[in-house]
Amino acid sequence: MSKNYVAVSRAIVDAIGGSENITAITHCMTRLRLVLKSDKPVDLARLKSIDGVLGVVKMDLQYQIIIGNTVSKVYEQVIKLLPEGAVQETQLIAKKSWSFRRVGSGILDALISTMSPLIPAIIGASMVKLLAMIFEMSGILTKSSSTFILLNVIGDGAIFLLTDYGCRLCCTEIQNQYVARHCYFRGVGASSIY
């Protein structure tokens, strides 16, 4: 990506119809998320051809501009281009019409945001359990050795806490206190059964 974040941000703002067309702006790990007033002034081909833009995802009036790990630097420069006192981060989803696609997209977004942080824990626990199994199968460790037991406890511990951590992430995503408490206690109960 081009290191000239000022030029990239200026090109993005110009391609979406100027700073006055931006209603809300935020970013995640790799994407610059913009909610626009209108998509009529947006030049999508020009936006996709900007050096540093890896892709564009459009959902109604929300544009997700895929930039990569340097998105925070581009975000800072775009913020500088906004008029003084403009709202930087707002709820990106305003009142919208109902559709099956939107409901499906919402469910998928909730699942992804809940499950994505769990992937490293699942992989780490699996690797520790695999290491214990390989050592035991190759004869390096016996099932009664303290190292084998320790590796199993570490691997099982991560799996044991996944339900609790998953429930906490789900509660954060739902943003409903009653459901959050119920979900949390069910997670604690499920993890204690394991």
pTM of the predicted model as reported, rounded to 2 decimal places: 0.51
28 is catalytic: yes
How many CA atoms does the CB half-sphere of 48 hold within 13 Å? Answer: 7
More confident residue, 28 or 173: 28
Give the Cα separation of 88 and 140 in Å (integer).
58
The pLDDT of residue 92 is 43
Q: How confident is the model at residue 128 (pLDDT cuts 50, 70, 90)?
A: very high
The pLDDT of residue 94 is 47
Active-site entry in 28, 167, 170, 171: 28
For 51-102, the pLDDT digits (tens) are 989 999 888 778 889 998 888 899 888 888 887 655 555 444 445 566 777 7
Single-letter code of the amino acid located at 15: A
